[in-house]
Amino acid sequence: MLLRYFSFEVQNSLLLEHEPGTPVRRLLAKATTPFGIYCCLTNAGLNRSDLDSVDHQSRRLSLFDHLSCLYILGRFFSALHLLAVQEGQAETVDHDLKVHTAKTLRLPETVADSPSNKFFRNLVREIELQLDAAKEHVSSLLPGGVPTTFNPWLTLKGSLFSLLDQYRTVLDLQVPFFLLIDDFDQLNAEQQSLFFSAASARRHDVICYKFGIMSEGQKAFLAGDGRTYREGDDYNFVRLDWVDGGLETEDKAGNYVKAVEAIFERRMRISSWPSSMTLSGLLDSWGYGKKLREEAKELALDEYDGLQPSERPNTFDSYWTKQGNAKYFRLLAKRKISHRYAGRSTVIDLSSGIFRQFLELCSGIVDLALADGWSPASGKPIGAEKQNKAIREWSKDMFRSLGSSGDVSSLGRKEHVITSEHLINLANSLCRYFQARLLSDSNDPEVIAIAIRDELPNDSFEKCLLDMAVRESVLQRRSIDYTSKSGGGERLPTFMLNRRLVPQVGIGTKLQGRYEISKSMLGIAATDTEQFLKAIRKVSDANQGSLL
């Protein structure tokens, strides 16, 4: 219901109230709020079960696409009719656009000869008739019905977008249209995916989307086919790590570190914070941790000197590069000290190449510091303890959000049921395994990625699970897959743990290598963490000695 207050009808009345007597078109041209098109598709019966009875999927979707376009255009032209009436007989749009609109709706071109107020009124009536005809056709497809002759032709991606683009130009709008879809969670998965697919074009200069869901009384299920509108906006196939080329590599995707630094500087200017403040200056590093790391390095040097020449790497630097982080975390575990996550590089690493995560994390750190009395005017950095507290809470929030996901299996429209419990189990299983590996005496300890060495049919539980894990950002699909250890040059689908999860088990953010896992082991990880750890221990013990 709240979405209605963002509709054009409400906006129009506010514009007139603000400047009475001024032509609406002039007010609209300088308005800074979007032209809202409010639609409750359930009122149009687009969640009707008879649509589900259409056997052929492409036919079913094209009918829903057509019906949705008609209903949205009906609401849009109803708003324009209101505008035209207020403008009197003045032309709201030119004749050519009227003709184009009539052709799009397959109406006689003569309807374009009417003044704008009558033109839009007639359009609304014709659309109502077309909706009735389309619904009658859907009903005729039910068992016992006699199918009518009907071919849908309107699409959200094509027809709707094209018309709105042209009307925005003619109306001199400085802002985009705002499509408000209410009761969105009442649509089924494939219907939702159709809207997500249209929204994924991201032409926000023309149209923005707001998907309203019920806040009480019913669980909201938002779905899509392989991805959703919110997935892909800032991290799909981002270069995730230094093996892929690095967060600081210059390429067509840009430089992630430079990008977040620029975002930080922009936010500082907007907030009127000291111009001298940098991200490094804002986020203090953990001084005691540096001392412990140096101590671990000295111990590692003694170990290196004590190795047999045949077992010793050529240089200590290469030995420390591969084992140093693990040596540091093992020293912490021995001393029973918790690692403090703090500092510029840590915050950037934890964001996993996801701009949204970087902003959320920085916001959480600053909010906590401000609440504790810190002020940017003081010129002092935010301490490591405050950062660590905010980071760990931010990491916990991800698990909390996973716990509220419910049944997300509809995303992939597969037969298997994937729930939030599966995703939480998978995250816990991998986190605990990676922690055990880091703290073990493994020669390849810093693994936070898995490579799947078995075939993953599209209709398998494991493939559906991986799709959900990527969608919910538990895992991130590597843009460059690892080559199988078994030889043959085969590339295995590889997934990295979202670094946001690592503070839960107190491990590092460095990626070095991957662990090859079978399809069956992946399934166990999502259903029973303890069983997974026992099973993987047997495999690890057999291959390279005890890890767990």
User: What proportions of the chain, in percent to the nearest 5, are helix, strand and coil?
Assistant: 55, 5, 40
What does the block give as tokens for 156? 């959200």
Across the range 3-32, mean pLDDT stands at 74
Using an 8 Å Cβ cutoff, are 148 and 136 in contact? yes
How far apart CA 73 and CA 69 sit, in angstroms, is: 6
Residue 225 lies in a domain: no
111 vs 471, higher pLDDT: 111
Lowest mean pLDDT among 23-37, 312-326, 429-443, 444-458: 23-37
66 vs 186, higher pLDDT: 66
pLDDT at 544: 45
Residue 185 lies in a domain: yes
Are 168 and 277 in a shared domain?
A: no
Residue 435 lies in a domain: yes
How far apart CA 183 and CA 518 sit, in angstroms, is: 41
pLDDT tens by residue, 511-547? 777 888 999 999 999 999 999 999 987 766 545 444 4
* Final residue in a domain of this structure, among 158, 181, 211: 211
pLDDT at 87: 72
Average model confidence (pLDDT) across the chain = 82
pLDDT beyond 70 at 375: yes
Using an 8 Å Cβ cutoff, are 179 and 209 in contact? yes
Are 135 and 260 in a shared domain?
A: no
* Final residue in a domain of this structure, among 211, 239, 271: 211
Domain count, the chain: 4
Are 442 and 469 in a shared domain?
A: yes
Are 16 and 159 in a shared domain?
A: yes
- Looking at the DSSP bridge assignments, the partners of residue 451 are 494, 516
Are 204 and 83 in a shared domain?
A: yes
pLDDT tens by residue, 104-157? 999 999 999 988 889 999 999 999 999 988 888 888 877 777 777 888 999 999
Global pTM exceeds 0.75: no
* Final residue in a domain of this structure, among 370, 385, 403: 403
Are 261 and 148 in a shared domain?
A: no
Choose among 281, 267, 291, 288: nearest CA to 382: 281
pLDDT at 198: 86
How far apart CA 425 and CA 442 sit, in angstroms, is: 24
Residue 432 lies in a domain: yes
Residue 61 lies in a domain: yes
Are 43 and 123 in a shared domain?
A: yes
Residue 220 lies in a domain: no
Using an 8 Å Cβ cutoff, are 399 and 299 in contact? no
497 Cα distance to chain centroid: 16
pLDDT band at 479 (very low <50, low <70, confident <90, very high): confident
147 vs 358, higher pLDDT: 358
Q: What are the counts of helices (DSSP H) followed by strands (DSSP E) for the chain?
A: 19, 9
Residue 453 lies in a domain: yes
pLDDT at 395: 93
Are 325 and 448 in a shared domain?
A: no
> Which structural domain range is residue 459 located in?
409-544
Are 358 and 488 in a shared domain?
A: no
pLDDT band at 394 (very low <50, low <70, confident <90, very high): very high
Are 424 and 465 in a shared domain?
A: yes
What does the block give as tokens for 85? 């009436």
Sequence-separated (6 or more) residues with CB below 8 Å from residue 540: 546, 547, 548
Q: Which amino acid would we find at residue 548?
A: L
Residue 385 lies in a domain: yes
pLDDT at 48: 65
Q: What is the DSSP string of 35-103?
A: EEEEEETTTTTTT-HHHHT---HHHHHHHHHHHHHHHHHHHHHHHHHHHHHHTTTS-SS-HHHHHHHHH
Choose among 419, 434, 421, 424: nearest CA to 536: 434
Using an 8 Å Cβ cutoff, are 393 and 350 in contact? no
Across the range 475-503, mean pLDDT stands at 83
Lowest mean pLDDT among 49-63, 115-129, 375-389: 49-63
Using an 8 Å Cβ cutoff, are 180 and 36 in contact? yes
Are 393 and 317 in a shared domain?
A: no
Are 35 and 121 in a shared domain?
A: yes
